Amino acid sequence: MSTLSDLVYSQGLSDDADVEWLHRLAGDGQLLADLAFADIVIWVPTSDDSFVAVAHARPSGAATLFYRDIVGDRVRPQWRTQVRDAYRGGEIVDSASPDWFEETPTRVRAVPIVRSADGESTAVGVLTRHTNLGEARTPSRQQITFNDCADELFGMISSGDFPDLSAPTAPRRGAPRASDGLVRLDVDGIVTFASPNALSAFNRLGFEDELEGEPLVEVTTRILPEKHQFDESLPLVVTGRAPWRTDVEARGVTISLRTIPLRDRGSRIGAIVLCRDVTEIRHQEQELITKDATIREIHHRVKNNLQTVASLLRIQARRSHTDEARDALTHAMRRVAAIAVVHDTLSEGLTQVVDFDDVFDRVLKLVAEVAASPSTRARTRRSGRFGTLPSEYATPLALALTELVTNAVEHGLAGREGEVEIIAERTDEQLEVRVRDTGAGLPEGQVGRGLGTQIVRTLIQGELSGSIDWHTLVGSGTEVTIEIPLRYIRGAGA
């Protein structure tokens, strides 16, 4: 399925600001569909004087008209004139008579999507509301209020007042919806309507009276505990003056509030306040934060312990009387230090995904300093990007590359001056890493049988399900190629 951006850009008629405006509006598509009890479709013009659907939202409390996905389809002939008139005229256009869609009577409203910027207004698309008349029944007071709110939002869309770019994006998990609870405020912040779910939410906070006729800011003030710290934006939210979100906590209950100011030709006429009981969701979020902090502390302590072990190995290596024992302890110290770098990086973030470019740069500096001997001058260089990797892949890859760079410096460049280059190439399908040195090179077809080579094979083939190949470069030097399939990395959450 193509995204909204892909569909809009494919028409070549909109810039980045238009796409951002449409994304904001599409983000509230479900709210509009629930308030209007109708399907909501967003259309953008095409180069051949038609329109294509780029977003669609189905109502939660009514039957949908479009059981098949309509996104990507061109506007139907029976709607084209109405949509075109709304787009060109900048006015809302209602269907003159019921429209029949697959043997179902419907009513269609076309609303021009106007973007306002720097005092200028530009039509960037059309929003259509498709109401199913086949389920017509006497509307309740709640449905009438919801429809009125939808009509006012449609008017704001046609005048460029909605969506509001000052409103926060990317809502927290558990953002309130119309069905969770809706409060309608007048221009003075007095409650003129409160849905049953909204009243129940405030009852759980400790308010026992009726909301209608009460100033919402006074209701909120009464239920908040004394000396309780609250969000500074709360007064603006409960008076309907700002399109923000906040939480209200009392009696162990947390209610999330979202305010949408209503305007008529730029003048504020009231507001919609959506509310939802998010007590359990906030408890889960707090538990996750606590677990993240615990995991970070574990990584920090593991890093400290590994660094202690590396220091002990370094001291032991200095006290060793044979070259063989000293080399073995030095290799072990370097391997432990490489793993410590990964845990150090994990201890700094909230996720178990690391920026491997940063990790490997630190490992590379460590390896180059330790592996080089007085008679060897090795320069290391990295090109390309590894990207982010989950911790279960970062540790074996860092250890494997440590071994390869160490071998290149100690054996390929032994007693000479040269360069070790690490080249990373990442695509959607795989990560390819080449370790190339300008040393003496290996005899073609021969690979070392030491512990380092065995470790690398085990890590790349066993831990990462990848492949590894050694070969001699034309002229001099050795190149080792590693290929790791990314389908396993994606499955691990990278």
Report the relative pairing of strands 417-426 and 377-384 from DSSP bridges.
parallel
How much is the pLDDT for 9? 85
Residue 258 lies in a domain: yes
Boundary-marking domain end, from 159, 194, 209: 159
Give the Cα separation of 157 and 40 in Å (integer): 13
User: CB–CB of 476/440 below 8 Å?
Assistant: yes
Instruction: Report how far Cα 314 is from the mean position of its chain's Cα atoms.
Output: 43
Query: What pLDDT score was predicted for residue 401?
Result: 85
In angstroms, what is the C-alpha Rg of the chain? 32
Same domain flag for 77 and 110: yes
Beta-sheet pairing, 267-277 with 104-117: unpaired
Does the CA dihedral 300-303-309-314 come out positive or negative?
A: negative
Q: Which residues contact 298 (CB under 8 A, 6 or more apart)?
A: none
- Give dist(CA 177, CA 32) in Å, integer: 10
Q: Are 80 and 115 contained in the same domain?
A: yes
DSSP string, 345-357: HHTTSSSSEEEHH
The answer to whether residues 8 and 63 belong to one domain is: yes
Q: Are residues 155 and 8 in the same domain?
A: yes
Residue where one domain finishes, among candidates 132, 159, 186 = 159
**Pairwise CA distance, residues 123 & 26, whole Å:** 16
- Looking at the domain assignment, is residue 124 inside a domain? yes
Can you state the angle between helices 356-371 and 391-407, rounded to 10 degrees?
30
The domain containing residue 125 runs over which residues?
A: 4-159
Distances (CA, A) of 123 to 13, 126, 261, 467, 482: 11, 8, 22, 54, 52
Q: Which residues lie closer than 8 Å to 385 by C-beta, 6 or more apart?
A: 357, 424, 426
Q: Same structural domain for residues 114 and 14?
A: yes
Plot region of 412 (φ>0 → left; ψ -120 to 50 → alpha; else → beta) = alpha
Which residue, 101, 124, 159, sits at the end of a domain? 159
> Within this chain, do residues 134 and 39 fall inside the same structural domain, yes or no?
yes
Domain count within the chain: 2
Helices then strands, each counted (H, E), the chain: 14, 18
Q: Is the same domain home to 182 and 154? A: no
pLDDT at site 228: 66
Question: String of b and e for 190-225 (b: at least 16 CB within 10 Å)?
Answer: bbebbbebbbebbebbebeeebeebbbbebbeebbe
Provide the pLDDT for residue 494.
43
Task: Give yes or no: residues 109 and 217 share one domain.
Answer: no
Rounded to whole angstroms, how far apart are CA atoms 292 and 8? 39
In this structure, the answer to whether residues 149 and 24 fall within a common structural domain is yes
Is 230 a domain residue? yes
**344 three-class SS:** helix
In a domain, 248, yes or no: yes
Q: Is residue 45 part of a domain?
A: yes
Is 131 found in the same domain as 38?
A: yes
Domain of 152, CATH number, reads 3.30.450.280
| Interatomic CA distance for residues 450 and 429, integer angstroms | 31
Same domain, 201 and 245: yes
pLDDT mean for each 10 residues of the chain (494 residues): 79 81 93 96 93 95 88 93 95 87 87 88 94 81 95 96 81 80 96 96 92 94 78 87 90 92 91 94 77 70 75 80 81 74 67 79 70 65 87 81 81 76 88 85 62 80 86 77 77 44
The encoded tokens of residue 116 equal 């306002």
Residue 53 and residue 193 in one domain: no
CATH number at residue 247: 3.30.450.20
